[in-house]
Amino acid sequence: MTKAAVSPSATHRAYRLVPTDSGSRLNQVEDVAPVPGPGDVLVRVEAASLNYRDLLVLRGQLGAVREGLIPLSDGAGRVVATGKNVTCWREGDRVAPIFYRNWVAGPYREAYGPAALGGGETDGVLADTIAVPEASLVRIPDGWSFEEAATLPCAALTAWHALVVRGRLAAGDTLLVQGTGGVALFGLQIASALGARTLVLSSSDEKRERATKLGAFATVNYRTTPDWDVEVRRLTGGFGVSHILELGGPDTFDRSLSALAAGGHIAQIGVFTGFGPRSNLIRLQQINGTIDGINVGSAEQFAAMNTFLAAHQIKPVIDKSFAFDEAEAAYDELASGRHFGKLVIRL
């Protein structure tokens, strides 16, 4: 095993955030490469993927961001060196870092928040190499490319946590997902593997066709059918859906409540339409429904999910892949909303 065989003067490429009047901008730099501490693992990042959260960080919509922060939470790569006290990993192991560096197992704690990769104070993965505590890594599935594995830490794990860990989704259940981004499509794939039926909302008829081919039993164009909650109930025989991945936020929540079946479960995840409460939750009480706030997941959940994905031969949907020098273009594509599935940056 290589024990921290890294020169303190070695350099690598990285992107860092530079403040602007409207948030931050990306700045590619030749930087001093990290050196792992006694309990750390040095990972050569081979690929990273983007989430909507990364756009909010760039725009300054999630609060203050440290100047010079390395962005992005999701990546995958190989172990290239380990600290002297590391016992879990060896050089060459294929791994992905977890979103919350300290959330290894058990329930979430607010103290984990500041250690979220690529936001606030903690550097992310948009760099050639990263140093990560050994407990903050998960082995990636055999047979997956690094680009595929880079989609797992946030989008896939959020869908898994929402539907399996908290939602207890089962065969015969019905699921509504909003849009065709990473969380939505992972939700569709996981639900299909469990024998549940998924209904997909999208404003693009082309994306609706692709979602149907991926396993959706029905789709609704929410632009041409603005009362999509009524249509969802019609498509489910008047009952509504038993599970919802609520990705829209304030402007979609009331319709989600309307589309929810009695005893149903809403996983509150996204803020695509902004922030702040708007809904009258009396309906939730009337139908004995539940809401769970979902914020990614733990390393323990990550490992369980990887076992499930491998067993069911589920692979992520990657829309486009960008070179490292094209990171700004990747952010622009994310902001456009044109993508179906995930956007990946190759390092």
What is the residue-wise DSSP string for 82-135?
E-TT--S--TT-EEEE-SBTT--SSS--GGGGGGBTTBTTB--S-BSEEEEEGG
pLDDT range class, residue 276, cuts 50, 70, 90: low
Per-residue confidence (pLDDT) for residue 5, from 0 to 100: 55
Q: Of 104-118, 197-211, 263-277, which range is least confident?
A: 263-277
**Residue 112: phi, psi to the nearest 5?**
-75, -20
Query: 1 pLDDT exceeds 50?
Result: no
List the structure tokens of 164.
């399996």
Domains of the chain: 11-151+316-346 (3.90.180.10), 156-293 (3.40.50.720)
Of residues 244, 282, 237, the one with CA closest to residue 260:
244
Query: 52 pLDDT exceeds 60?
Result: yes
Residue 88 CB neighbours (<10 A) = 13
Stretch 144-159: mean pLDDT: 97
Query: 272 pLDDT exceeds 50?
Result: no
Query: 133 pLDDT exceeds 70?
Result: yes
**Between 327-336 and 52-59, two packed helices, what is the crossing angle to 10 degrees?**
110
**DSSP string for residues in 200-266:** EEES-HHHHHHHHHHT-SEEEETTT-S-HHHHHHHHTTTS-EEEEEE-S-HHHHHHHHHHEEEEEEE
- Residues of 134-156 as b/e, b for ≥16 C-beta within 10 angstroms? bbbbbebbeebbbbbbbbbbbbb
- For 72-122, write each residue's pLDDT tens digit: 999 999 999 999 999 999 999 999 999 999 999 999 999 999 999 998 789
Q: Which residues pair with 75 in a beta bridge?
A: 48
Residue 232 CB neighbours (<10 A) = 26
- For 288-333, write each residue's pLDDT tens digit: 889 999 999 999 999 999 999 999 999 999 999 999 999 999 999 9
Higher pLDDT, 2 or 204: 204
What is the spatial distance between Cα 222 and Cα 230, in angstroms, rounded to a whole number? Answer: 11
What is the spatial distance between Cα 20 and Cα 94, in angstroms, rounded to a whole number? Answer: 36
